[in-house]
Amino acid sequence: MLGWAITFLIVALIAGVLGFTGIAGAAVEIAQILFFIFIILFVIAMIARAVKGKPPL
């Protein structure tokens, strides 16, 4: 999922350089949403690992 966020970020940067503001804005929004979903899932995974008694990474 982080790969998708990075992909959309790159698409947004390229579209922004070329002047496609609508596409760039949409790609940035998608990248932000995917990034925050990734962060939330990461935190949940770390909490689950701590509850099981394993030390955090």
Average pLDDT, integer, range 17-32: 79
* Separation of alpha carbons 53 and 35, rounded Å: 27
Q: In the chain, what is the straight-line distance between the N-terminal and C-terminal CA atoms, in Å?
A: 20
User: What is the mean predicted confidence (pLDDT) over 10-36?
Assistant: 80
Rounded average pLDDT over 46-53: 86
Task: Determine the average pLDDT of the residues in 36-54.
Answer: 86
Q: How confident is the model at residue 55 (pLDDT cuts 50, 70, 90)?
A: low
What pLDDT, on a 0 to 100 scale, did the predictor assign at position 57?
A: 62
Dihedral sign for Cα atoms in the order 39, 41, 42, 47 = positive
Sign of CA dihedral 10, 13, 19, 21: positive
Q: Is the dihedral of CA 45, 50, 54, 57 positive or negative?
A: positive
